[in-house]
């Protein structure tokens, strides 16, 4: 969530019970023990106050230099960095966005992942006892400061706590930290009070912009909690605020600092998370959403959760419930899958991989609903050039804009364009997920040679994978643009085509059992070649063999390049012909009808057709 601007500050004046930013994010967690892939997962959507918001993806190298600072360009805060900082990847704002760096999601060379933040809120009563402090820590700097100087997730949690002890905070934030051994969540509740908690490996979490840490016993000696002490003792401040929620010696932290009643804006996202991952949970089973229900922070899922399910959950707009945002009466609700996401990041930690590349980040540029998650391992030393295009204005070279343009097209007319776009990207993600797991052996082999070799391999893999998905985005864009333009007939939906995902012509032919060939056009062409020959020439009384070159003409059939070639699909006695850049279908030599939707087209070197081509051809009598 971005820094609260003047307009948000004005809106905040009318919020009687709580203080919160108007624009915010969603966080998710999956413990290693309940993950289908056996990985810990931490994830977050970075949501903005507008639909257009360029983000980049970069790598900051290990640096050894004294006298450096991590600066917040918006509020003037500067943090003195240690002489040596570690390599880490990050997802910053454009340099002219005007509100600081916002690293968003970081993975460093010691296998530590840092995700943050999810903005939260507290009650007015609690804010009075621990007010935020201007000119101090913000989301704009926290993830980067921490990622550059920690070697474990616990160290990350401890450093975050120390930073809040020393400098204080300008905002209310939640962060995640993860490594091979454990995962932590951190919440701060004002200028100086906070709590960090080690996350259980057998639970999951999905939450909106709410404080979530529940019961804590101040006498707990497990080492699984770190909370503010001394002058800013968390439990003393809870008592001072006047609304502690207790059970014996335990405190329910979230209820104590944020109140016992939730608001739909955030709480409905908690509800749909439980309903999706744990439908048998008593808080949601056979029950509608309620502001009165304090949905759990951590709970057991009904079955193990895959990373693909988390991707899908970030697209959720309450489909299949009475709150489905495709229904006009629900248009003002706040879903997980908001159009205002500038990026969404999911990080999986694999114990079996070398520590340097143990974190696999899935980065989605733009909002997840109609964009794609692209993988990159944490050992990378560089990213695709499209990820590094700076500036807030539109730039066709930018990865953000390439992916976001498709999302904008698809959601402009969801009823017709959404399903096909989602199907296209979900298929690509499933392919990528399998491909990444197949790469594990290659990654281990490369790292066995040397750290440099391992990093070189995963860097090349990340750039290659990004290029593949950029190419896919360009191919998708051509089909989406055609349908969106063709459907531009006002509001008469029954005259508009449903968008069907594009597939390659080869894929379509294989699916339908057709023999495929390009119908090439040939012509005779005359060529001249030089032939070496010999002849006898009399020199004096003898004949000698003399070499000479003779030009010889010959003809040969050659392929004539076609701007719009025909392709034949043959199955038994049925022969169909399709032409590039056309919707016309020919059967056994005669035109029969046009393809529904869009025609056959070429993107790069690949030819695409509607994904239901086989069904369309089968329907022709």
Output the domain CATH number for residue 596: 3.30.457.10
Give, to the nearest 10 degrees, the angle between helix 399-412 and helix 451-486.
Answer: 30
At 491 the pLDDT is: 61
Beta-carbon contacts of 561 under 8 Å, excluding residues fewer than 6 positions away, are: none
Residue 527 — φ and ψ, nearest 5°? Answer: -120, 160
Asked if residues 74 and 235 have their Cβ atoms less than 8 Å apart, the reply is no
Give per-residue pLDDT as tens, 248-300.
999 999 999 999 999 999 999 999 999 999 999 999 999 999 999 999 999 99
Give per-residue pLDDT as tens, 557-577.
999 999 999 999 999 999 999
> Is 90 exceeded by the pLDDT of residue 543?
no
Is 487 inside any structural domain?
Answer: no
Assign 19 a pLDDT band (cuts: 50, 70, 90). very low
User: What's the Cα-to-Cα distance from 148 to each of 85, 108, 198, 380, 396, rounded to whole Å?
Assistant: 5, 7, 21, 15, 32
According to DSSP, the residues that pair with 30 across neighbouring strands are 41, 204
At 492 the pLDDT is: 60
Give per-residue pLDDT as tens, 74-114.
999 999 999 999 999 999 999 999 999 999 999 999 999 99
At 8 the pLDDT is: 37
- Could you tell me the two tokens for 256? 């104590």
- Report helix, strand or coil for 548: strand
Domain count of the chain? 3
Could you give the CA distance from residue 374 to residue 494 in angstroms, rounded to a whole number? Answer: 35
Could you give the CA distance from residue 341 to residue 587 in angstroms, rounded to a whole number? Answer: 46
Could you give the CA distance from residue 473 to residue 372 in angstroms, rounded to a whole number? Answer: 9
The fraction of the chain above a pLDDT of 70, given in percent, is 95
CA angle 125/14/317 to nearest 5° reads: 95
Could you give the CA distance from residue 276 to residue 44 in angstroms, rounded to a whole number? Answer: 17
- Could you tell me the two tokens for 411? 């959601």
Assign 494 a pLDDT band (cuts: 50, 70, 90). low
Is 495 inside any structural domain?
Answer: no
pTM of structure: 0.93
At 539 the pLDDT is: 82
Structural domain boundaries, residue 613 = 502-520+562-618
Is 236 inside any structural domain?
Answer: yes
Same domain, 509 and 540: no
- Could you tell me the two tokens for 17? 């019970």
DSSP states of 555-590 as a string?
EEEEEPP-SS-EEEEEETTEEEEEETTB-EEEETTE
At 489 the pLDDT is: 75
> Is 90 exceeded by the pLDDT of residue 30?
yes
Same domain, 359 and 440: yes
> Is 50 exceeded by the pLDDT of residue 18?
no
Residue 480's CB is within 10 A of a number of other CB atoms, namely: 27
Is 490 inside any structural domain?
Answer: no
Same domain, 34 and 83: yes
Could you give the CA distance from residue 296 to residue 24 in angstroms, rounded to a whole number? Answer: 20
Give per-residue pLDDT as tens, 127-150.
999 999 999 999 999 999 999 999
For residue 102, how far is the Cα from the chain centroid? 16
Same domain, 446 and 569: no
Could you give the CA distance from residue 85 to residue 145 in angstroms, rounded to a whole number? Answer: 9
Is 489 inside any structural domain?
Answer: no
Same domain, 208 and 346: yes
- Could you tell me the two tokens for 268? 């409905």
Could you give the CA distance from residue 227 to residue 161 in angstroms, rounded to a whole number? Answer: 8
Same domain, 218 and 190: yes
- Could you tell me the two tokens for 231? 């002058």
Same domain, 359 and 380: yes
Beta-carbon contacts of 262 under 8 Å, excluding residues fewer than 6 positions away, are: 210, 270, 291, 292, 293, 294, 295
Same domain, 202 and 274: yes
At 503 the pLDDT is: 98
Place of tokens 């005669």: 590
pLDDT: which is higher, 12 or 479: 479
Output the domain CATH number for residue 29: 3.60.60.10
According to DSSP, the residues that pair with 226 across neighbouring strands are 196
Is 492 inside any structural domain?
Answer: no
Is 284 inside any structural domain?
Answer: yes
Could you give the CA distance from residue 473 to residue 466 in angstroms, rounded to a whole number? Answer: 10
Same domain, 546 and 427: no
Q: What is the CA radius of gyration of the chain?
A: 30
- Could you tell me the two tokens for 233? 């003792």
Same domain, 274 and 359: yes
Residue 97's CB is within 10 A of a number of other CB atoms, namely: 22
> Is 50 exceeded by the pLDDT of residue 605?
yes
Is 497 inside any structural domain?
Answer: no
Q: Across the chain, what does the average pLDDT equal?
A: 94
> Is 50 exceeded by the pLDDT of residue 11?
no
Same domain, 551 and 421: no
Give per-residue pLDDT as tens, 165-211.
999 999 999 999 999 999 999 999 999 999 999 999 999 999 999 99
Same domain, 375 and 399: yes
Asked if residues 43 and 29 have their Cβ atoms less than 8 Å apart, the reply is yes
């Amino acid at each position: 969530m971005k820094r609260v601007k003047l307009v948000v500050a004005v809106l905040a004046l009318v919020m009687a019970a709580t203080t919160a930013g108007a624009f915010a994010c969603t966080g998710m967690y999956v413990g290693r023990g309940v993950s289908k892939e056996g990985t810990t997962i931490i994830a977050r959507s970075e949501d903005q106050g507008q639909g257009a918001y360029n983000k980049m993806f970069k790598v900051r190298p290990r640096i050894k230099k004294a006298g450096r600072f991590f600066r917040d360009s918006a509020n003037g805060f500067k943090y003195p960095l240690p002489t040596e900082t570690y390599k880490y990847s990050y997802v910053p704002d454009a340099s002219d966005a005007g509100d600081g760096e916002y690293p968003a999601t970081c993975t460093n060379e010691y296998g530590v992942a840092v995700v943050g933040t999810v903005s939260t809120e507290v009650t007015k009563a609690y804010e009075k006892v621990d007010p935020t402090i201007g000119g101090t820590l913000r989301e704009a700097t926290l993830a980067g400061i921490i990622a550059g100087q920690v070697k474990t997730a616990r160290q990350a949690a401890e450093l975050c706590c120390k930073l809040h002890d020393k400098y204080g905070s300008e905002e209310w934030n939640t962060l995640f930290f993860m490594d091979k051994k454990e995962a932590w969540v951190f919440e701060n509740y004002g200028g100086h009070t906070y709590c960090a908690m080690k996350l259980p490996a057998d639970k999951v979490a999905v939450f909106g912009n709410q404080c979530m840490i529940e019961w804590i016993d101040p006498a707990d000696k497990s080492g699984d909690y770190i909370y503010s002490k001394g002058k800013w003792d968390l439990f003393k401040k809870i008592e001072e605020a006047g609304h502690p929620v207790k059970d014996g010696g335990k405190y329910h932290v979230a209820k104590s600092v944020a109140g016992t009643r939730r608001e739909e804006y955030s709480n409905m996202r908690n509800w749909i998370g439980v309903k999706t991952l744990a439908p048998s949970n008593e808080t949601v089973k056979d029950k509608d959403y309620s502001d009165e229900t304090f949905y759990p922070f951590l709970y057991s899922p009904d079955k193990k959760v895959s990373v693909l399910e988390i991707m899908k959950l970030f697209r959720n707009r309450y489909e299949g419930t009475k709150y489905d945002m495709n229904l006009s009466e629900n248009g003002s609700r706040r879903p997980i899958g908001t159009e205002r996401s500038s990026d969404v990041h999911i990080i999986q930690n694999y114990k079996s991989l070398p520590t340097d590349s143990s974190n696999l980040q899935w980065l989605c540029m733009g909002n997840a609903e109609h964009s794609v998650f692209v993988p990159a391992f944490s050992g990378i030393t560089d990213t695709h050039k499209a990820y590094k295009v700076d500036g807030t204005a539109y730039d066709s070279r930018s990865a953000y804009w390439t992916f976001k343009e498709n999302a904008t097209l698809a959601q402009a007319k969801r009823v017709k364009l959404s399903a096909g776009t989602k199907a296209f990207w979900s298929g690509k993600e499933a392919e990528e997920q399998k491909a990444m797991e197949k790469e594990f052996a290659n990654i281990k082999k490369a790292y066995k040679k040397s750290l440099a070799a391992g990093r070189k391999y995963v860097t090349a893999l990340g750039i290659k994978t990004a290029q593949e998905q950029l190419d896919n985005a360009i191919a998708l864009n051509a089909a989406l643009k055609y349908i969106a333009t063709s459907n531009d007939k006002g509001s008469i939906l029954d005259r508009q085509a449903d968008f069907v995902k594009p597939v390659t012509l080869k894929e379509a032919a294989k699916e339908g059992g057709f023999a495929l060939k390009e119908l090439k056009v040939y012509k005779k062409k005359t060529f001249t070649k030089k032939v070496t020959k010999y002849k006898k020439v009399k020199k004096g009384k003898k004949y000698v063999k003399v070499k000479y070159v003779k030009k010889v003409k010959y003809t040969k059939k050659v392929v004539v390049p076609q701007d719009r070639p025909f392709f034949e699909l043959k199955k038994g006695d049925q022969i169909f012909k399709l032409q590039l850049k056309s919707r016309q279908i020919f059967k056994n030599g005669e035109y029969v009808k046009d393809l529904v939707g869009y025609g056959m087209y070429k993107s790069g070197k690949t030819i695409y057709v509607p994904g239901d081509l086989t069904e369309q051809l089968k329907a022709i009598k």
